[in-house]
Amino acid sequence: MTTLPDLASASDVTDEVGNAPSAKWVRLFCSVAFLFFLGALNHVFGSEDEAGAGPLKALFLPIALLIQLIAIALLVSPSHLHKTLDALRRNRILLLALGVILMSTFWSNDPELTLRRALALVGTTAVGILIYIDAGDILKFFGVNLALFVVGSVFVALAFPALGTHTEGIHVGSWRGLLGFKNQAAWVTVLFLIVWIGMRKRAGLRAVTYPLLAVAFLLLFNTRSATGFAAFAAGIAALCGLSFYRQAHAVRPLLLVAFGIFALLIAADFDALYTQGLETLGRDDSLTGRTLLWTALQPLIESRPWFGNGYLAFWDHASDYFGDSSWMGELVHAHNAYIDILLDVGVVGLITQLSFLLGICWKLLSKAARGDSIATTMLAVYVTLGVIGIAGEVFFRPNSGIWIMVVAFACYATNEKAPPFSAGSAKPVST
């Protein structure tokens, strides 16, 4: 009987570091760290930004700190230091964006909170770099771990509905699985679908591909998340389009022209298409109140446009701006990654962060054009996250499994010496 690949051996072939006796334990640590930050134990430990979630919530931050310190210690060890410095050197814009975030401590509304969360972001980034260095085939690593997360979420939703589904409010009956909210469960499910479909032809994975995809679609459908459906549509469109672009060398110019015409047509009648899309998803033009929130936040962004209010310092003091009686004072984010960036670190921070993200997308596209199927899937993941960012916070977030994926993929994208297969592998991976 075929089973999911062993998490402790994500790659069949490793480099000189992978031959060390402790390599399997490091990979196991990477899996545990990723699943923890993804929210696999949310119903036990909760998370930093979910009030009251998890009976052992007080232990979340100490465990997160311990994981991050272990990752940093491994990265600066003699066996890893050279590769760590090389990864950092190749991601200077990432370092610049992190530098702006750290410097926002000096003008933050809450300097202590900003510093603590900025340092947690640095630690989370370290976990992503460690996974790139030690996990071997990183696409397979994330695919397998996301598969475990999706299967676990479906199990919790079916076996423990009081935990795995929303039991009250407007979302009653919607599945949330291992996470605290249905949209988060949908986003993780979409990322799994994109990654797994992208590597569906891998040896050893084909036998479980269709059962896992069926389980994932079951979870996605029952989350009833319009954002999740839209993100999946965008991700699949990107994956199919990029795969065709990668393989059809002769018609690439025609594809680019067709894409340009398509973009112009959308821009010419955007309002009608936007309204039709909302009707299809069963949503009003306020996006469930999101646009009202964004409008209310605009004057606050304009009051400190260049450098913002300090990294992740605004929402902890939202009642100071909106009043204790306002529904907006109870929110923990703007339901839009880009608006949150403007609130936190202003235009300067937005430019540095988008420069990093778009730069990685360009490098992945260049690799895909040279026949790299792994880069093709990674770029589709970035496109998916870009869509998710319209409704949720996904970029430059501390203690976030999604941010760990972004960092690991960025390290792969910036490694120009790497052939079109995974880091740390001595032979191509069949796709």
pLDDT at 429 over 70: no
Position 292 pLDDT exceeds 80: no
Tracing tokens 């995809």 back to the chain, one arrives at 213
Q: Of 117-121, 341-345, 402-406, give the lowest mean pLDDT range.
A: 341-345
Closest residue by Cα to residue 241 from 262, 272, 270: 262
**Site of tokens 């933050």:** 108
User: Between the CA of residue 185 and those of 19, 30, 70, 119, 179, what are the distances in Å?
Assistant: 36, 21, 28, 26, 6
3-state secondary structure of 145: helix
Over residues 332-348, the mean pLDDT reads 84
CA distance 180 to 260: 40
pLDDT in tens, 6-30: 433 333 333 444 444 478 889 999 9
Q: List residues bridging with 175 in a β-sheet.
A: 165
Contacts of 193 (CB under 8 A, 6+ apart): 213, 216, 217, 220, 232, 235, 236
Q: How confident is the model at residue 2 (pLDDT cuts 50, 70, 90)?
A: very low
Return the minimum-mean-pLDDT range out of 177-191, 237-251, 266-280, 288-302. Answer: 266-280
Instruction: Say how far apart CA 37 and CA 64 lie, in whole Å.
Output: 8
For residue 165, give the 3-state DSSP assignment. Answer: strand
The predicted model gives 230-234 an average pLDDT of 91
Taking alpha carbons only, the member of 126, 107, 48 closest to residue 311 is 107
Question: What residue type is 227 in one-letter code?
Answer: T
Strands (E), 182-232: none
pLDDT band at 262 (very low <50, low <70, confident <90, very high): low
Q: Mean pLDDT, to the nearest integer, of 321-331?
A: 59
Taking 50 as the threshold, does the pLDDT of residue 130 lie above it?
Answer: yes
pLDDT above 70: residue 200 = yes
pTM: 0.84
Give the pLDDT band (50/70/90) at residue 172: confident
Give the pLDDT band (50/70/90) at residue 31: very high
Split at pLDDT 50, 70, 90, the class of 294 is confident
The pLDDT value recorded for residue 100 is 96
Select the more confidently predicted residue: 85 or 327. Answer: 85
Q: Are 380 and 360 in contact (CB under 8 A)?
A: no
Supply the pLDDT for residue 369.
86
For residue 27 the two structure tokens come to 């990979």
Residue 276 predicted with pLDDT over 90: no
**DSSP at 13:** S
If you average pLDDT over residues 158-178, what whole number do you get? 89
Q: Return the pLDDT at 427.
A: 42
pLDDT at 323: 61
Using the Cα atoms of residue 260, residue 266, residue 267 and residue 269 in order, give the sign of their dihedral: positive
Q: Where does residue 236 rank: exposed (0-12), middle (13-18), buried (19+ CB within 10 A)? A: middle
pLDDT at 298: 83
What is the full DSSP assignment across 57-68?
GGGHHHHHHHHH
Which two tokens mark 50?
């979910």
Residue 216, pLDDT above cutoff 90: yes
What is the rounded distance in angstroms from the CA atom of residue 364 to the CA atom of residue 358?
10
User: Cβ distance 419 to 270 under 8 Å?
Assistant: no
For the ranges 175-179, 312-316, 351-355, the one whose mean pLDDT is highest: 351-355
C-alpha to C-alpha distance for 303 and 6, rounded to whole angstroms: 52
User: Which residues contact residue 33 at a Cβ distance below 8 angstroms, ignoring those fewer than 6 apart?
Assistant: 67, 71, 127, 130, 131, 404
Confidence band for 3, pLDDT divided at 50, 70 and 90: very low
Residue in the block written with tokens 């389009």: 241
Q: What is the pLDDT of residue 313?
A: 86
| pLDDT score at 270 | 45
Q: Which residues of 136-161 are buried (b: 16+ CB within 10 A; e: fewer)?
A: bbbbbbbbbbbbbbbbebbebbeeee
Mean residue pLDDT of the chain comes to 81
Which of 52-61, 212-221, 362-371 bottoms out in mean pLDDT, i.e. has the lowest? Answer: 52-61
State the pLDDT confidence band at 220, using cuts at 50, 70 and 90. very high
